[in-house]
Structure 1
Amino acid sequence: SFLFDLEEKFEEDMFTFHVCDVALKHAPEFRRVYLPYVTNQTYQEQTFQRLLNGNAGFQQVLERLESDPVCQRLSLKSFLILPFQRITRLKLLLQNILKRTRPGSEEEVQATQAYDALEKLIKDCNENVQRMKSTEELIYLSQKIEFECKIFPLISQSRRLVKCGELTALDFNTLSPKWKVTTRPIYLHLFNDCLLLSRPKEGGRFVVFDHAAFSDVRGEKCEMKLHGTNKNVFRLFLLQNYQGKRVEFLFRTETHSEKLRWISALAPPRGELDLLECPDAPQVQCIKTYKARENDELALEKADIIMVMQYSNDGWMEGVKLSDRERGWFPSEHVELISSKQARQKNLKEEQRVKNAKQQVFCKK
């Protein structure tokens, strides 16, 4: 086993003990075990919750087992998520080892290969989970949606939900001398390839009245000076809707963060961020784990370093994790500002060091 091989290496020579070659040797086995386990984790959680809610006997046995001192007051749920946390922490360990190896050395090559194998495994796990979640969302949504405009098939293996929610559309009566404003609720379902605009109905159902390809959608801040409750407003443009027409909407959100999150979600796809092009961007470090609740949010683990791209006035930030370039929103209460310029520069150099090592090792192949 992985642990046995680590212990054996350590006992052989604790002074030249290396983790990376052992991790690289076991990488194929990690993939065989962890990939299906993590992929099916959603179903584990659903089954666990169903048993907890509907089986009194299960709950009694669970309470007895969790009270055993060997569990150290940890719940079964915490043990179910432990495997994925373990490979994530192993990846971080390999990354830190790589940062401290001598450039061009055999140790650097081993550390880079081991780190890359774990990084690809975690990426594949996340993609599989997201794919299964997206398919479930599409199947559920297809049962709740009806079209009053041109119908198109909703379920697709490549389609995933990016963001959804009910917004308030503002309509101005320009014929009135005081520009009277009327409002109506519109529900948006934003996917990676299209946008649906619906009227919400009772029972969580939706009537789609317009849709457009994602490439024909734009969102931008509204500079109009609106008084009263008409703040947190942004414009939505359909450059070409299902009828081939250009359509414009003015939406109001409940909070400033929701406004910024919608504008960010509606932006064209971004390329990978070059960290060295943002030397003065603020950085924060995670001090409290955060589990993403919506598709545009960023899951955080303690000690994660995030480059902040923008922030709202109600306590949310959008940022990019330096370790994997993943981008998303998170609450500011889970992080603390890195005030030292030297520390920020060091973080950027270390991440660039990892990137350069990967390029050198895999370009030689």
Structure 2
Amino acid sequence: MENFKRRHSKLINSSRLLYQEYSDVVLNKAIQSQKRVDSFTEDIESSFPSSPRLRRKVLSPQDSYLQRLSVSSNASLWQDIPMIRGSRMLLNMSRDEQKLQEAKFELIMSEASYLRSLNVAVDHFQRSAELQAMLTNQERQWLFSRLHDVRDVSASFLFDLEEKFEEDMFTFHVCDVALKHAPEFRRVYLPYVTNQTYQEQTFQRLLNGNAGFQQVLERLESDPVCQRLSLKSFLILPFQRITRLKLLLQNILKRTRPGSEEEVQATQAYDALEKLIKDCNENVQRMKSTEELIYLSQKIEFECKIFPLISQSRRLVKCGELTALDFNTLSPKWKVTTRPIYLHLFNDCLLLSRPKEGGRFVVFDHAAFSDVRGEKCEMKLHGTNKNVFRLFLLQNYQRKRVEFLFRTETHSEKLRWISALAPPRGELDLLECPDAPQVQCIKTYKARENDELALEKADIIMVMQYSNDGWMEGVKLSDRERGWFPSEHVELISSKQARQKNLKEEQRVKNAKQQVFCKK
């Protein structure tokens, strides 16, 4: 990083769009591409992953393409490069080979747009003297973390990508560059993403309780350089980019020739990013879980056998208040009485409590997670007792078997509790579910509860079950993450051929990893 200041990207101004809008345009095009596959109307030109198009300027033909792009208002397709368009080499390329080069060019162009946004985040916001004056040293650290380091790593990465591209515009490689920079990605992204909880809390606290911060922020965000985008949209860029970079590498991997050196490099780079994202998510989850446990330990008291609540390996899976139904079998009409019970389901145990005022809980029973079962209830109950399920404690803290009948407010809550209480599942073999429904995300969804699935535009999800009130449980094909999400954020993929194509592509990635990492 010592020579960072001497490195200047030629692509940094290749588009007027900042990464937030650039990414949105590209993802919308990916959604449309999937729809074309779904409706069997995909054509050669529209199938290429494309970049946002703006009006072009007339440029001197003797300039290099990167120099031309640096003063152009258009982020173009690889096939639009004058040297490429109409060339014999392009004409001799197969459609798949052309798609591979477009996928690699998309990675370069998107990194340029990302760096442009990072420059705004660092130079306009983080280094603002006005904003600095409103923050303590600790608040600066929590709010911006190591954003300048993230920017420097992106600049170095883009410079090396550009060098590769200029060496050979027809058959340039990018995965070896990504693999080379993977240790630097880990060095800066892991601490930045891990700081997410503190960043969000600090930002919200300043926004709600610091009038000076609000005023300065409004002035900074109104500057044309921000293009009407908020500081928060800049702060979350590293989270979004590291995930997007993994998907771009995955897209390249799917298009490489099996057994080639490029396939090996793409697989290794993809695996490095996948492990980094997994470690980032685990760190965030660990910090969140620790905070939840500390908070709960102050709100919970035990009237039964006490056990220490705070544990490094414990995490909250699901919690909520349910209505317990008790039947008086001595009554000729089986009179039903109800009482509220609050469940705290952790990855290793379940607590059953009576809720009290002030958000406090009195635990009256608990059991190990391995001794808990949730089942659908087949009893036909009248009135409001519709969404019911059975909860079995095969062995509670007194070593007794206990059974409860619970009612939830909605059908989705009933299904979500039964799913959360199910024994741990092994990794899903996608090829064993060829007829399972698939949906595509058309609107980003941020998970609000621990059993929900965060979605980004263009994500493909295999649906495992759905409720009658607009919720689905599914598995993302790209990373096998499982959870619940609102159906209004997705669209059904109706074509069987399109679903099979999606499964085949994901299996292609899995096979490549097995070939590369399981060699003797």
Alignment TM class, shorter chain as reference: over 0.9
Range with bigger deviation, 71-80 or 145-154: 71-80
Structure 1 residues 300-340: Cα deviation after superposition (integer angstroms, max 9, x where no partner): 01110000000000000000000111000000000000000
Deviation at 1:7, TM superposition (A): 1.4
Of residues 203, 207, 220, the one that matches 1:52 is: 207
Structure 1 residues 155-193: Cα deviation after superposition (integer angstroms, max 9, x where no partner): 000000000000000000011011100000000000000
Deviation at 1:13, TM superposition (A): 1.6
Deviation at 1:54, TM superposition (A): 1.1
Distance 2:166 2:208 in 1: 48
Cα root mean square deviation, aligned: 0.6
Deviation at 1:274, TM superposition (A): 0.4
Range with bigger deviation, 246-255 or 8-17: 8-17
Deviation at 1:6, TM superposition (A): 1.0
Aligned to 1:184: 339
Distance 1:68 1:42 in 2: 28
SS of equivalent residue, structure 2 residue 323: strand
Distance 2:209 2:384 in 1: 45
Structure 1 residues 103-145: Cα deviation after superposition (integer angstroms, max 9, x where no partner): 1110100000000000100111011000000000000000000
Distance 2:480 2:313 in 1: 22
Aligned to 2:131: none
Distance 1:87 1:192 in 2: 28
TM-score between the two structures when normalised by the length of structure 1 = 0.99
Deviation at 1:41, TM superposition (A): 1.0
Distance 2:330 2:375 in 1: 26
Distance 2:400 2:229 in 1: 57
Distance 1:312 1:17 in 2: 48
Structure 1 residues 286-313: Cα deviation after superposition (integer angstroms, max 9, x where no partner): 0000000000000001110000000000
Distance 1:324 1:86 in 2: 16
Aligned to 2:515: 360
Distance 2:518 2:431 in 1: 21
Range with bigger deviation, 16-25 or 325-334: 16-25
Range with bigger deviation, 47-56 or 310-319: 47-56
Aligned to 1:168: 323
Distance 2:210 2:249 in 1: 43
Deviation at 1:53, TM superposition (A): 1.1
SS of equivalent residue, structure 1 residue 143: helix
Aligned to 2:395: 240
Of residues 185, 188, 203, the one that matches 1:30 is: 185
Range with bigger deviation, 26-35 or 47-56: 47-56
Deviation at 1:15, TM superposition (A): 1.1
Q: How does 1:208-219 map to 2 (within 5 A)?
A: 208-219=363-374
Range with bigger deviation, 84-93 or 183-192: 84-93
Deviation at 1:9, TM superposition (A): 1.4
Which sections of structure 2, spanning at least 5 residues, go unmatched?
1-155
Deviation at 1:84, TM superposition (A): 1.2
Distance 1:87 1:9 in 2: 21
Distance 1:181 1:302 in 2: 46
1:321 pairs with 2:476: yes
SS of equivalent residue, structure 1 residue 182: strand
Distance 1:14 1:132 in 2: 45
1:21 pairs with 2:173: no
Distance 1:16 1:130 in 2: 41
Runs (4+) off by over 2 Å: none
Distance 2:182 2:169 in 1: 23
Distance 2:172 2:228 in 1: 34
Distance 2:174 2:310 in 1: 44
Distance 1:207 1:291 in 2: 32
Structure 1 residues 182-230: Cα deviation after superposition (integer angstroms, max 9, x where no partner): 0000000000000000000000000000000000000000000001100
Distance 1:292 1:171 in 2: 34
Distance 2:496 2:207 in 1: 49
1:133 pairs with 2:266: no
Range with bigger deviation, 261-270 or 81-90: 81-90
SS of equivalent residue, structure 2 residue 375: strand
Deviation at 1:250, TM superposition (A): 0.2
Distance 2:170 2:441 in 1: 32
Q: Percent identity?
A: 100
Of residues 254, 259, 266, the one that matches 1:104 is: 259
Which sections of structure 1, spanning at least 5 residues, go unmatched?
none
Deviation at 1:16, TM superposition (A): 1.5
SS of equivalent residue, structure 1 residue 151: coil
Range with bigger deviation, 16-25 or 200-209: 16-25
SS of equivalent residue, structure 1 residue 51: helix
Deviation at 1:12, TM superposition (A): 1.8
